[in-house]
Structure 1
Amino acid sequence: MASLLCGTVGLELAWHHPLSGLVAVALWLAVALMSAVAWVQTPLFVLAPLAVCGLAPLTGWITFEEMDLLVTAVVSGGNLGFAFGLGPRERAPAWRQGLAYPAATSALVLALAASALHGLWRGVQDAGGWQFGWFQGYHEPMNAVRNSKAIFLALALLPLWVEAARMQPRRFTRALRGGLVLALVAAALAALWERAAYTALLDFSSDYRTTGSFWEMHVGGAALDGFLVMTLPFAVLTLLRTRSPAYFVSMLGVVLLAAYACLTTFSRGVYLALPLALVPMLLLADAQRRRSHAVDPESTQAGVGTVALPLPRLAKLGALAMAAAFALASVLVFTGGGYRGLIALLGVMLVLLSMPASLWLPGVGLRVTALMLGALLGALAGGASWALSMAVPKAAYVNYAVALVVCGLLRWRDKPGLAQPFYVTAVCAAWFWLLASMVIVADYWGGTPARWTSVAALLALGGLWSVQLLDARFWPLRSTGYRGLRQRALLVAGLVLVMAVVALLGGGAYLRDRAATWKEDGRLRIAHWQAGLQLMHGPEQWLLGKGAGRFVASHFYEGPIQSHIGDYRLRTEGDESFLALTGGKHSLSYGEMFRITQRIEAPTTPTMRVRVLARSGVESDLRFEVCERHLIYIGNCSDRGVHVKPVVPSDGGEPVALWQPYDIELKTPSDLGGSGLLSRAVTFSMAVGTPGVRIDIARVALLDGTGRPLLVNGDFNREMAHWFFSSDKHHLPWHFKNAALHVLFEQGLVGLALLGTAYVLVLVRLSVGRGRDHPLAPAFVAALIGFAVVGAFDSLIDASRIGFLFFLLMLLGLGLRAMPGEGLPRSA
């Protein structure tokens, strides 16, 4: 029955897909067939494409989207495969089942669903009653469906996944983890491509925040931010626990790529969420490892090996001291020495991380002597190098390279297991020389200010190395072989990330500006929250909410007039459809107009023509643009406007709105759209340039110089198919900007209490409860913490894909549990 119900809904949606119903049906059937054959692995099928399965800028769909097709296909095919006994046939014993829901938890889930369903009903009623439409906007009844469908899509998958976790719990867990990691890869690659195509990979000063493949950010929001913080913990946990060298290298690349995507969001919420989420994850993973080691220190499993004993506390303290010293040194060196000084500092740290274990074999007295003598020799060599750099241009860089080579040669000459006091002296002398050479590079580039800040960094790192050499308990890199290489590779990746953050903060004007305005932004956000709560009237709305999807409309009709946003409606007159486009009442600067857009093929002729049939009851401006646009940032534009006037009757009466044709010419910008792999999307846009004025548009056409039409559905007879809309910079009226307050507004105190209870229960269950030893429990906790941190500054749940992922993680976390001994083979 579940298969037939979802199949009917999914095929109906696929058949009405705006791009091609036949192709959509074919793809839907392919996914359903694949899900029927391998229904245990369906978490992989659902999650892996989640980041890139939104085509709203091409289709015009916002209530329905490709995620709905994907989920219905998987639910229909997976349940059909389960019903006919495809795949595994025997259920695992109860103690081996990976998902189990006590009666109280099941009741809580049902209450959550009931609250969401009631919020959907209230939202539809507040919008004027049920009225189906394929292309309705944020003010109309179908917006309640868009805002509330996420939890129902997650619940539709849950019974199938419970059976999968009961049949083959390990395979289900691997599919879940793999799907989340691949989803992160897709989101990060989309962000990387966007930066390469529309700005520059290392451009941290332009006012351009990455949106990736998340169309939900067409009116602002933090969809990409929420997706990254909920998927990155699974990649980090996988990186820390994999034993395969090839898999380790690939996962390290994934984490670094995702870190770059996080940095380019320029989101203060993401920057705050990642440490607040990842630190508890590391602590929980470490606790899992300690429990596993306490149970059986010699336990092994095929292909996994013995559980490794966690680092002692002093070694962890040494690792933290190294990280703190490098972070401090990075700030000091970059302040004056710029990127060259920072790169020189990285070389110093790489040599430090490669220090051989044989340095600690001589006694403490010999190490003290070697350290003091090495520091003296390094200082003498540094002084000579400084004098040479003052006399010979570019000698600072040559000297640094020579010192780096000497350190490398000494490391190659190490004799493991053999105590060599003179070797310890030589290594210390070479490293201190390299440290002094770093100061010389910074001084050569930045002058006297760089010299003294770099000397401070030298003292910090030199003091740290002295303590670690004299007391081996503070040295965290004791492991040798592959495990030692893993540890060092992770530390190098961490150093690179620290460098990136320092460079972003110090060299990126845009982020500095955002950091400088956090107080003002905070006051603005608090005022917005207060204004939003004032839209709720009476005990009933506070208890049960105003209804799903009603914030935008409520803010429009009851909020401050000066912040009213633009809007569109599709109207009919006789048998003809036309678009009613309204300008907002706020400041309509170039970046703040409400735009109706359509992606087009880049014209190749020098000019284009816009022909439009429009009317207006008052004099108003109608703007047209052809620009390179990914989502909300435009560039390389050609734009012009027409002045739409009402017609004055011949008898001199009141002006009336009559249809009038307009024809204007646009010049084609040079290199519009680019070419090749990094070609940029080209969009045609229409906007009302007069505040609060409505202009009706019956037909619009864009023709290139040869007369070839570049628009489709210009007469709106297919409703809003292929048309999209955006509010590029005026974002607050579109979101409550807080996930908890968003739930309060839509579902009232009852819905907020239910969701808060479920959220806290998941965190407790996976941190100290029955699910704490599940391999993915630390990542689940980190993902949900990250969601809460970002959700403190943005609604998040009003983006369907983000809400869907959040509800999936929360619902799975409510039932996730570890099998006996589960922690042992997963604590490498």
Structure 2
Amino acid sequence: MAAVGMAPVAGLMGLGELQLRLPASKTQWFALMAGLALGLLGLVLAWHHPLSGPLALTAWGACALAAAVFWVKTPVLLLAPLPLIGLAPWSGWITFEEQDLLVTACGCGGYLAYALQLNARDRAPAWRHGLVYSTATVVLVGALALSLLWSVKRGFADAGGFHFGWFHGYHEAMNSVRNAKALFLVLALLPLWTAAAAARPRGFSRGLLLGLVLALAGGSASALWERLAYTGLLDFSTDYRTTALFWEMHVGGAALDGFLVMTLPFALLALLRTRSPWRFAIGLGIALLAAYAVLTTFSRGVYLALPLGLVPMVLLADAQRRRAAASGAESSHIDSTLGPVDEPLPRLAKLGALAMAGAFGLAAMLVFGGGGYRGLLALFFVMIILLTMPASLWRPSLGQRIMAVLMGGVLALLLGGASWALSMAVPKAAYVLNAVALMCCAALRWRDEPTQTRPVYVLLVTTCWFWLLATMVIVADYWGGTAGRWTSLAAGLALGGLWAAMLVEPRLWPLQGAGHRGKAGWRKRALLVTGLLLVLSVVAALGGGGYLRDRLASWKEDGQTRLTHWHESLRLLHGGRQWLFGKGTGRFVSSNLYEGPLSSRAGDYRLRTDEGEAYLALTAGQHMLGSGEQFRVSQRIAAPSPGPVTLTLVSRTASDAQIVLQICEKNLIYPADCIGTEQLLKPLRQEGSPTGSPPGWETRQVQLGNAPAMGGDWWAPRFVTFSMALDTQGARVDIARVAVQDAQGHALLVNGDFNREMARWFFSSDRHHLPWHIKNVALHVLFEQGLLGLALMGSIYVLALARLSFGRGRDHPLAPAIFAALIGFGTVGAFDSQLDAARIGFLFFTLLLLGLGLRALPGEGVARVA
């Protein structure tokens, strides 16, 4: 194959010698053309970025170069930053966004690298291709793409024709592009991924897994920051649902919910299978961080979606292991993507693990209800000691173990009685006694001799653990009084009985052999401790916060509201043609505004011109207005200097209108620590103007108040946002210019005259969300693409699930996690229309289309679960 005369490029980052060659096949020439086309599109988008064209071009070029060098692992580059790259609240872009720049950069670099054979390797034979699509699958996906294109055309027609705009909102024609682009972005990359999975199938799978786990880490970390900055980590009572950095939730929605349920299965699958201690520690941290993010969504759909997805994931992974065992592949104990794995637990050991989990969950609820966080912490240490019980305890005979349980119970009862009397006499003695019992248990564990049969040692360990259990009851009693005493006593009796049964019947112990297997022992125990922490988190969220309880208690009323909304939304489809082909992508919000009930007629904004000068036409909704229901146009600003803040407003109105002007600390839809003013605007009629002429422009300067120190702490910064809203139903105000100055004279707003269209401006509807979403994925597809599009989407979704569960893709190491992610998406999608969020749609279509093509390689050593 001829070289282009270019000298080999020095190895980059240890990759060895790189070399460029001319395309040698039609496929490579196609890749060259695709790379150039995506490159041209990406450069145009980057140059028009509202924040900084040169900076966007630089970042785009760096991503394209990285994609060229690591073209096999472009899923890492695409997916890892996904939850962090939505800059719409700063830029004002919603039709186009940073994800589009990243896709075009990775596509450009990847296709050019493939076409020019950068770091090329011999193409793998067909039997080693990791991504293969059947003819029927290609036909179905192609039909769905054509249906979506037709729906885009219908959306343009419904919007009054196609008109290009960089800053269109939800009512203009470009919203059809925004709603439809996710599938086409994935299809643009699919040939590149197919080539990568053919060249290095295992490397491609590892890249996909790593990208999704890193994405989960980034999204969960942003959720942690949001709670830390705006509510506090342990505040589960404030009416504040986490949105992280998903700007798509500015009008409600479930973008974060869909993201979590589609990425968390991959982190948990990796956690179950990794054998590296440091990787396990990192994975454990990510899983716990994600669990916190899940809890703080306060989303009943997420709480339902995760078990519905994760339980089948475990079952499918176990089925993979059994098929490997039947084929004789289990001897290697290796999963080529995720590393070696453990043998499955015996049936009785699984029963014991379930009993332990159930008993701990029940005990946690009982103890927390009466003993609070301190009782819960004492229970946690009880379980930690239980999980570290040494295997040598089962070496004595059955009679000796029974005697240890009986005598240990009696001795612990005596110790517990003395401890309770001391706690009543000496303040804080309950906590000291709990710590002493814990140290005694730890010391006995340290003195274990695995090869020795010591009945006395069994008695001492059992006595000490029963005593620790008694001190847990004493802590709960000291903190919570009578309620804490009896609830924790019931929990202690349940746990004590469980341990006695496991000591008598060793086959119930879920950690059989863990003490003799080195790494396997610590790993199993770490997984169980992780489960304990997750249960504690759930109990604390349910018991420590009234907001979550209220959310769970109101499911019936909210369900009826959903049903009514769905019924009213489907009434917006008129005639058989719209039912068959849909009304067009991106047209639900506009249809709801003009044809829906008054409660669905939310506020709006449009950019207009008058004698060549741009102005913003801001309107209020027709529904009942309140501080949370107002439609806001906002801009993120630097924190003003402490002191008086002055605002200059040039506006006009045809009728009286109350305008609300505020500066708040606000991430997306929950304002806090605001300063601001409300102004009554009246029509300004100039003398001598003819009747019916538009009102004149009025300039007014007002004080927003004295700004306190804003912006939060350096370790938990808060965003500062200026916003404008109308508090008069149906009112309209035209705004030609708005300027804000702080006490130091610094101008806080950019593009206050709207001459750069809506650059830097963003909008939100903080709590009035139903007008913006149909709140169901299937109905969303039906509304936009009709019954034809819904049938195609449903067929592809079912086909992917079937292929991953019992089809050709079932033995791919990532098949269980992809299956769980798709189930999670479908469950959350039963209550929200997630496909109107482009980043979530991109993630969904990525997993859906990969699930249709991924397959295990012969001899790959299919996945097993611990």
TM-based fold match above 0.5: yes
Aligned equivalent of 1:49, options 71, 75, 81: 81
Alignment of 1:629-648 (within 5 A): 629-648=666-685
> What is the Cα deviation at residue 26 of structure 1?
1.6
1:340 aligns with 2:374: yes
> What is the Cα deviation at residue 300 of structure 1?
5.5
Q: Match of 1:466?
A: 500
> In the comparison of the two structures, how many residue pairs are matched?
828
Q: Match of 1:226?
A: 258
**Aligned partner letter, 1:101:** Y
Aligned equivalent of 1:806, options 840, 844, 851: 844
1:561 aligns with 2:598: yes
**Aligned partner letter, 2:124:** A
Task: From the superposition, tell whether residues 687 and 302 of structure 1 become closer, same or farther in structure 2 (CA, over 3 Å).
Answer: closer
CA distance in 2, matches of 1:700, 1:406: 69
- The range that moved more, 451-460 or 773-782, is 451-460
Contact map agreement 1:648 1:654 (CA 8 A) in 2: no
- The range that moved more, 414-423 or 721-730, is 414-423
> What is the Cα deviation at residue 10 of structure 1?
1.0
Contact map agreement 1:138 1:552 (CA 8 A) in 2: yes
Residue 645 of structure 2 aligns to a residue whose secondary structure is strand
Residue 715 of structure 2 aligns to a residue whose secondary structure is helix
Alignment of 1:105-124 (within 5 A): 105-124=137-156
**Aligned partner letter, 2:729:** P
> What is the Cα deviation at residue 770 of structure 1?
1.1
> What is the Cα deviation at residue 576 of structure 1?
0.5
1:521 aligns with 2:552: no
Residue 661 of structure 1 aligns to a residue whose secondary structure is strand
Q: Match of 2:332?
A: 299
> What is the Cα deviation at residue 147 of structure 1?
0.4
Q: Match of 2:28?
A: none
Q: Match of 1:139?
A: 171
Q: Match of 1:36?
A: 68
CA distance in 2, matches of 1:827, 1:778: 11
> What is the Cα deviation at residue 208 of structure 1?
1.1
**Aligned partner letter, 1:85:** Q
CA distance in 2, matches of 1:293, 1:357: 27
Residue 835 of structure 2 aligns to a residue whose secondary structure is coil
**Aligned partner letter, 2:50:** P
CA distance in 1, matches of 2:712, 2:656: 38
Deviations along 1:687-708, whole A, 9 cap, x unmatched?
1111101100011111123433
1:628 aligns with 2:665: yes
Deviations along 1:439-481, whole A, 9 cap, x unmatched?
1111111111221111111121111111111111111102231
1:796 aligns with 2:834: yes
Contact map agreement 1:298 1:307 (CA 8 A) in 2: no
Alignment of 1:145-224 (within 5 A): 145-224=177-256
CA distance in 1, matches of 2:95, 2:622: 26
Contact map agreement 1:622 1:689 (CA 8 A) in 2: yes
> What is the Cα deviation at residue 605 of structure 1?
4.2
Alignment of 1:164-563 (within 5 A): 164-296=196-328, 297-299=330-332, 308-478=342-512, 479-480=514-515, 481-563=518-600
Q: Match of 2:701?
A: 663
CA distance in 1, matches of 2:353, 2:121: 49
> What is the Cα deviation at residue 669 of structure 1?
2.9
Residue 679 of structure 2 aligns to a residue whose secondary structure is strand
CA distance in 2, matches of 1:272, 1:643: 47
Task: From the superposition, tell whether residues 300 and 401 of structure 1 become closer, same or farther in structure 2 (CA, over 3 Å).
Answer: closer
Q: Match of 2:161?
A: 129
Contact map agreement 1:544 1:748 (CA 8 A) in 2: yes
Deviations along 1:388-432, whole A, 9 cap, x unmatched?
112222111111111111111111111102221111111111111
Aligned equivalent of 1:778, options 812, 816, 831: 816
Deviations along 1:516-537, whole A, 9 cap, x unmatched?
2111111111111111111111
**Aligned partner letter, 1:799:** A
CA distance in 2, matches of 1:285, 1:301: 14
CA distance in 1, matches of 2:181, 2:114: 25
Contact map agreement 1:617 1:655 (CA 8 A) in 2: no
> What is the Cα deviation at residue 651 of structure 1?
6.4
> What is the Cα deviation at residue 294 of structure 1?
3.0
Contact map agreement 2:811 2:863 (CA 8 A) in 1: no
**Aligned partner letter, 1:122:** R
Aligned equivalent of 1:698, options 710, 721, 736: 736
**Aligned partner letter, 1:131:** H
CA distance in 1, matches of 2:863, 2:165: 52
Q: Match of 2:13?
A: none
Contact map agreement 1:629 1:683 (CA 8 A) in 2: yes
Contact map agreement 1:195 1:201 (CA 8 A) in 2: yes
Task: From the superposition, tell whether residues 262 and 690 of structure 1 become closer, same or farther in structure 2 (CA, over 3 Å).
Answer: same
Contact map agreement 1:773 1:822 (CA 8 A) in 2: no
After TM superposition, the score normalised by the length of structure 2 is 0.94
1:611 aligns with 2:648: yes
Task: From the superposition, tell whether residues 60 and 305 of structure 1 become closer, same or farther in structure 2 (CA, over 3 Å).
Answer: closer
- The range that moved more, 26-35 or 724-733, is 26-35
CA distance in 2, matches of 1:668, 1:748: 54
**Aligned partner letter, 2:645:** M
Q: Match of 1:602?
A: 639
Deviations along 1:777-803, whole A, 9 cap, x unmatched?
111011111111111111011000000
Contact map agreement 1:299 1:824 (CA 8 A) in 2: no
> What is the Cα deviation at residue 141 of structure 1?
0.5
Q: Match of 1:732?
A: 770
**Aligned partner letter, 1:202:** L
Query: Among the aligned pairs, what percent are the same residue?
Result: 63
Task: From the superposition, tell whether residues 125 and 436 of structure 1 become closer, same or farther in structure 2 (CA, over 3 Å).
Answer: same
CA distance in 1, matches of 2:87, 2:272: 35
CA distance in 2, matches of 1:675, 1:195: 13
Contact map agreement 1:582 1:695 (CA 8 A) in 2: yes
Residue 636 of structure 1 aligns to a residue whose secondary structure is strand
Deviations along 1:92-134, whole A, 9 cap, x unmatched?
1111110000111111110111111111111111111100000
Contact map agreement 1:647 1:655 (CA 8 A) in 2: no
> What is the Cα deviation at residue 59 of structure 1?
0.4
> What is the Cα deviation at residue 306 of structure 1?
6.6
Contact map agreement 2:42 2:104 (CA 8 A) in 1: yes
> What is the Cα deviation at residue 192 of structure 1?
1.0
Residue 834 of structure 2 aligns to a residue whose secondary structure is coil
- The range that moved more, 83-92 or 133-142, is 83-92
Contact map agreement 2:628 2:767 (CA 8 A) in 1: yes
Aligned CA-pair RMSD: 1.5
CA distance in 1, matches of 2:312, 2:377: 31
Deviations along 1:50-70, whole A, 9 cap, x unmatched?
111110001000000000000
- The range that moved more, 257-266 or 698-707, is 698-707
Aligned equivalent of 2:719, options 650, 658, 681: 681
Contact map agreement 2:660 2:727 (CA 8 A) in 1: yes
Question: Which consecutive residues of structure 1, in runs of 5 or more, have no partner in the other structure?
Answer: none
Contact map agreement 2:342 2:520 (CA 8 A) in 1: no
> What is the Cα deviation at residue 741 of structure 1?
0.8
Alignment of 1:51-66 (within 5 A): 51-66=83-98
Task: From the superposition, tell whether residues 315 and 539 of structure 1 become closer, same or farther in structure 2 (CA, over 3 Å).
Answer: same
Question: Which consecutive residues of structure 2, in runs of 5 or more, have no partner in the other structure?
Answer: 1-32
Residue 322 of structure 2 aligns to a residue whose secondary structure is helix
Contact map agreement 2:317 2:864 (CA 8 A) in 1: no
